[in-house]
Amino acid sequence: MSERPQHRRPATFKLDDPGVVVMDPDDTSRPSRGTIHVTPEADPALLPVPIEAPLLPARRGFRWGTLFWSATAGLVLLGTGLSVTHLIEDLFARSESLGILGLGFAFIAALALLVVIARETLGLMRLAAIEKLHQRAAAVLLSDDRPESRAIMQDLLKIAHQNPQLARARATLLGHADDIIDGADLIKLSERELMTPLDQEARRLISSAAQRVSIVTAVSPRAAIDVLFVFAASLRLIRQLARLYGGRPGALGMIRLMRHVIAHVAITGGMAASDSLIQQVLGHGLAAKLSQRLGEGVLNGLLTARLGLAAVDVTRPLPFTALPRPALGDLAKDLLTKRDVDQA
């Protein structure tokens, strides 16, 4: 049998007592007999801040897929331009007025194409800037770099300047920014002031989309209609969340966001967590109260809510540190409470 340790009785002492020895936690030496060994605890403010893993895995290697689609798009563009040139030449051969009309249409189409390309490029650049801002903020939470935190705060203020609802939050942040010494605390202050109203609006958008999907899919007569509606509602929700947090995605930006959201759901295992939550919710007597169609509607609504939470993680310019991350259980309560009200 192992020897039981002997515990010292509680006693009071003064810190200036010569018999009290303050030792470092890493010190392995033993204090002299008759002295009291005191080990100070670490200051919570000096402890490292836990940072979640990156939202998306880093890409490595040469992107042959991008090269293929770029070359294909170039060939299609050249072919289209050559076809339009032949068409205008044929129109001029028939009639000068038809040629001028065709040339005007071609000029308008080319101008509109340039505007669309410029908007798509700006949208992609804005999404990339928000993603990079998220990574910079996560790095500052670890390094506590004050100059970099102030640069991040200025970038956040530029993004939030276009949202009139954040006017008071911007003024409050600027008023307290000079009082913050640590870089990590400045990031947390920026998150509390700027992200709180946006997170509340994001939760409202996700709850509304989930309720809409659950109701429509519960009364829809065809499965194909369910799939199309869920897909359209998911696209609309992701676009709304991206615009809420400062992004302005176009068509290419939406494709990129959808890929990132699906990748984030796959990495975090969110669908499995959703399934377990759904089984728990439906297993506590709710399945007996709902019909099969209503149960499917609840399932689709919860999956839409989980997709919205993943979109928040991807489109939010700051990681969740000072504010709690929205949980699927809270959205499920909102969904089921709304459904109970509708049932009554």
How far apart CA 129 and CA 121 sit, in angstroms, is 12
Domain-wise residue ranges, the chain: 196-343
| Strand ranges inside the chain, DSSP E | 20-22, 36-38
Q: What is the pTM of this model?
A: 0.69
* CA pseudo-torsion sign 314, 316, 318, 321: negative
First-residue to last-residue Cα distance in the chain: 66
How far apart CA 129 and CA 260 sit, in angstroms, is 15
pLDDT tens digit at each of 344 positions of the chain: 444 445 556 666 666 666 666 666 666 666 666 666 666 665 554 555 454 544 444 555 667 888 888 899 889 989 988 998 999 899 989 888 988 999 999 999 989 989 998 999 998 898 888 989 999 998 988 888 888 989 998 988 888 887 888 888 888 888 888 887 888 888 988 888 889 999 999 999 998 888 888 888 877 777 778 788 888 888 899 999 999 998 888 888 888 888 888 877 776 654 444 445 555 455 444 544 455 666 677 777 888 888 888 888 889 999 888 888 887 777 766 666 654 434 44
The β-bridge partners of 36 are 20
Token pair recorded at residue 344 = 């009554």
How far apart CA 118 and CA 124 sit, in angstroms, is 10
In one-letter notation, the amino acid at residue 297 is G
The β-bridge partners of 38 are 22
In one-letter notation, the amino acid at residue 65 is G
In one-letter notation, the amino acid at residue 180 is I
Beta-carbon-side half-sphere exposure of residue 63 (alpha carbons within 13 Å):
8
